A and B are shown apart, each in its own frame.
Chain A
Amino acid sequence: MNPDVYLAAAVAELTVALLLLPRLAIGPSVSDRVVALNTASTQAALAVLFYSAYADRTIYLDVAVWLVSFSYLGAIVWARFLERGLL
């Protein structure tokens, strides 16, 4: 496939992440901010995946794996912090 398609997909993912930033700024509750942050992390990981397909380098896939796994861990940390404020 044409590699420019993958680059356009990565640009689209990061554009979605850019549209998520106002929700991170003016979330009425802290739960809206948690959802916006986790969605932005997922979009960043997908952008790294598509950029790895564009650049034809498989070493970048490890970064996407780290991003997704630590996004999940960060969701757990945020939930624990919001439930009991002692972390």
Chain B
Amino acid sequence: MSEFWVLDYLVLALILGSAVLVVRVTNLPGATMALSAVGTFLAVLFVVLGAPDDAHSEVVVGAIALPVLYLAAIAKVRAHVLDEGELREEGEDEGEGNAGR
């Protein structure tokens, strides 16, 4: 336990930076990637604090399952807008797709 506090504060800084990025990044897939980074570094924090089982659960849930659910939500919203065309008015031409792709 000589220089243990360096690692601890470094992982905490990584988690805080990624969490700030989640709310500051305007691009929607970029914010989802920052959420995945939060889960990954939180798993590293669990390892550093001595709980490997919680780190297993955090890797599976926080780094993969939750961003994939957010991605599925984003994809379904985009597909719904793209296919149904409810946001397009009557006289508007078909030339403008979504600007996110």
Interface of A toward B, CB cutoff 8 Å: 4, 7-8, 10-11, 14-15, 17-18, 21, 24-25, 27, 30, 33-34, 36-37, 40-41, 44, 47-48, 51-52, 59-60, 62-63, 66-67, 70-71, 73-74, 77-78, 81-82, 85-87
Answer whether A25 and B2 are a contact pair too, CB < 8 Å, given A66-B60, A77-B68: no
- Distance between Cα atoms of A25 and B31 in the complex (Å): 9
Contact A33 B6 (CB under 8 A): no
**Complex partner residue of B71 from A15, A18, A73, A81, CB under 8 angstroms:** A81
Contact A87 B71 (CB under 8 A): yes
Q: How far is the CB of A32 from chain B (nearest CB, A)?
A: 9
Contact B3 A67 (CB under 8 A): no
Bitwise, B60-80 to A at CB < 8 A (1) or not (0) is 100110011001100100110
Ordered nearest first, which 8 A-B pairs have the shortest CB separation? A87-B75, A63-B55, A37-B33, A66-B59, A14-B10, A70-B64, A21-B17, A44-B44
Bitwise, B1-12 to A at CB < 8 A (1) or not (0) is 011101100110
